[in-house]
Structure 1
Amino acid sequence: MHVDAMTAPQPLGRMGDIARRTQASGFSGLLFTETGRTAYLNAAVASQAAPGLELSTGVAVAFPRSPFVTAANAWELQEATNGRFRLGLGTQVRTHVVRRYGTTFDHPGPRLRDYALAVKACFSAFRTGQLDHHGEFYDLDFITPQWSPGPIDAPDPKVDVAAVNPWMLRMAGEVADGVHVHPLGEPGYLARHVLPNLAEGAAKSDRSPSDVAVIVPVMTIVGDTEDERRTERELARASISFYASTPNYSFILDEAGFEGTTARIREKQKRGDFKGMASEITDKHLAVFATESTWDGLEDALVDKYAGIATRIVLYNALADLDRLERYGAVAQRISSRCATR
């Protein structure tokens, strides 16, 4: 089990220092979400600043970019990292894709499946000069040497997809190299939905479930004093309430014993009551959807919770306070070393 740090993309002038500090602290890799800044440019800067650090997008929004453009970005990053880049793709939600990006969102699950296969077809074309993908949504069959980056001395990038519901998880198991679990992905949800559906999908492609990486973001509440942990709890409450406001994710909370949480949060969200949204996340929610510990206990808490389930865990808030980064990194390094010997 590898341990990565998560970051939202930063101004490019800052990213080199962040990448170097992340690597020096002991993390296996750095995962870039995509918000107002692009994940790919940040990953490019990090690849040059911290050679050897594993980089991934987690996740980049797929549909606003053609599969060929995405494949070319991933190909260059794979070359720049000497084979240490993973391409993580997601659908986002309809409002963002249609009203912010101005592109199509119809049939997002099947479209993402075809998109991932189209990206892999482009990787093959970069090596062979032959592009031949004809799917339900994407037809790609033209490439010339001038418009191809050409072969690289590294394997094709791994292609991971974000998935929440059972159909998407089965699709990830069938066609992707890994799955990005949602930040609300507590161990019960992993056991009930993620692992069995990935296995079912993998079987369709005659693969072992172990061929599909399970990438799990982890919210932590860490401190050696009650005051430290109290501050961390409030930050976690706000993050969980944000994710819990999305109706498509409500079943995760319902099945964990928190029925009605999403509806109550959405009522307050409509009024702009963000403090009220966070107040709906109780300490019982935190106990399920976050990991609370002292610094000395964090390693055991994370290993006990995720070893044997997750291929990679991604510490959601390790970079929120750079003064704590080295402490998180030391824990990450011990976990990676410990799990490697199992």
Structure 2
Amino acid sequence: MQIDVMTLPQRLAQIGELARHTQAAGFSGLLFTEAGRTAYLNAAIASQAAPGLELSTGVAVAFPRSPFVTAATAWELQEATGGKFRLGLGTQVRTHVVRRYGAAFENPGPRLRDYVLAVKACFTAFRTGKLDHHGQFYNLDFITPQWSAGPIDAPDPKVDIAAVNPWMLRMAGEVADGVHIHPLGEPGYLARHVVPKVAEGAHRAGRSPSDVAIIVPAMTIVGDSDEERHAEREFVRASLGFYGSTPNYAFIWDEAGFDGTTARIREKQKAGDFAGMAAQITDEHLAAFATESTWDELADKLIDKYGGVASRVVLYNALGDPERFERYGEVARQIQSPRSR
């Protein structure tokens, strides 16, 4: 089980230092989400600042970029990292894709499936000179040497997708190399939905479920005293309140025994009461959806919680205080090298 750090893309002048610190602290990799700044440019700078660090987008928005543009960018990053780049893609939501990006969003699940296959067809084209993808949404069949990135001395980049509902999880097992689990992905959800649905999709495609990486973000509340844990506890409470407002995720709360959580959060959201949104997340929610521990216990707790299921655990809130970041790095080394524990 590898341990990565999650970050929003930073100013380009800052990301090299963060990448070097992440590598030196002992983490396997750095995962870039995407919001106001793009994930790809940060990954490019990180690849040069910290050679050998594993980098991934987690996740980049797919539909506003053509599959060919995405494939070419991932190809260059794979070359720059010596084969240590993972392309993570997601649909985002309709409002962002249509009203902010000006792109199509109809049938997002099937569209993303076709997108992944189109990207992989582009990878093949860079090696062979032949582009031949004909899907429901994308038709790509023209490439010349001048417009091809050409072969690289590294395997094709892994292509991962973000998935929450059962259909998307099955699709990930069928066509992707990994699946990014939502931050609300507590162990019960992993057992009820992620593992069986990914396996179902993999078997449908004649693949082994072990071919599909399970990438799980972990919200942590760590400290050797309640006072030390307080700030992280409130940060996680607010984060869960934010994510919990999305109707599509309501079933995760409900199945974990917290019926009606989304409805209560949305009521506060509509009133503009952001503190009230966070207040809907009780300590019982935190116990189920986050990992709280002392520093000495954290490695064991993460292994107990995600071992045997997660291929990669991404620490959601490790960044911030430099001293705490170093301590998270020590935990990462313990998990990644069991003999050091």
Aligned-partner SS, 2:125: helix
User: CA–CA distance in 2 between the matches of 1:338 and 1:240?
Assistant: 31
Q: TM-score, normalised by structure 2?
A: 0.99
Change (3 A) 1:149 1:339: farther
What are the equivalent positions in structure 2 for 1:109-258 lying under 5 Å apart? Answer: 109-258=109-258
Q: Work out whether residues 334 and 340 of structure 2, in 8 Å CA contact, stay in contact via their aligned partners in 1.
A: no
User: CA–CA distance in 2 between the matches of 1:269 and 1:338?
Assistant: 44
What are the equivalent positions in structure 2 for 1:20-169 lying under 5 Å apart? Answer: 20-169=20-169
User: CA–CA distance in 2 between the matches of 1:68 and 1:236?
Assistant: 37
Structure 1 alignment gaps of length 5 or more = none
Displacement of 1:274 in angstroms is: 0.6
Deviations 1:116-157 (A, max 9, x none): 000000000000010000000000000111111100000000
Displacement of 1:323 in angstroms is: 3.0
Q: Work out whether residues 307 and 339 of structure 1, in 8 Å CA contact, stay in contact via their aligned partners in 2.
A: no
Aligned-partner SS, 2:229: helix
Deviations 1:248-270 (A, max 9, x none): 01100010001111011011111
RMSD: 1.1
Aligned-partner SS, 1:263: helix
Aligned-partner SS, 1:302: helix
Deviations 1:11-59 (A, max 9, x none): 0000000000000000000000001000000000000000000000000
Change (3 A) 1:340 1:199: farther
* One-letter identity of the residue aligned with 2:288: V
1:332 aligns with 2:332: yes
Aligned-partner SS, 2:9: coil
User: CA–CA distance in 1 between the matches of 2:178 and 2:81?
Assistant: 19
* One-letter identity of the residue aligned with 2:274: F
1:281 aligns with 2:281: yes
Displacement of 1:340 in angstroms is: 11
The list of structure 1 runs, each at least 4 consecutive aligned residues, that deviate by more than 4 angstroms after superposition, is none
User: CA–CA distance in 1 between the matches of 2:237 and 2:339?
Assistant: 30
Aligned-partner SS, 1:154: coil
Aligned-partner SS, 2:337: helix
Aligned-partner SS, 1:237: helix
User: CA–CA distance in 1 between the matches of 2:135 and 2:322?
Assistant: 45
User: CA–CA distance in 1 between the matches of 2:289 and 2:97?
Assistant: 28
User: CA–CA distance in 2 between the matches of 1:173 and 1:87?
Assistant: 16
Aligned-partner SS, 1:47: helix
* One-letter identity of the residue aligned with 1:85: F
* One-letter identity of the residue aligned with 1:26: G
Displacement of 1:339 in angstroms is: 9.0
Q: TM-score, normalised by structure 1?
A: 0.98
* One-letter identity of the residue aligned with 2:233: R
Change (3 A) 1:339 1:308: farther
User: CA–CA distance in 1 between the matches of 2:84 and 2:340?
Assistant: 18
Number of matched pairs: 341
- Residue in 1 that maps onto 2:299: 299
User: CA–CA distance in 2 between the matches of 1:271 and 1:100?
Assistant: 24
Change (3 A) 1:112 1:340: farther
Q: Work out the percentage of aligned pairs sharing the same amino acid.
A: 77
Displacement of 1:322 in angstroms is: 2.9
Q: Work out whether residues 26 and 329 of structure 2, in 8 Å CA contact, stay in contact via their aligned partners in 1.
A: yes
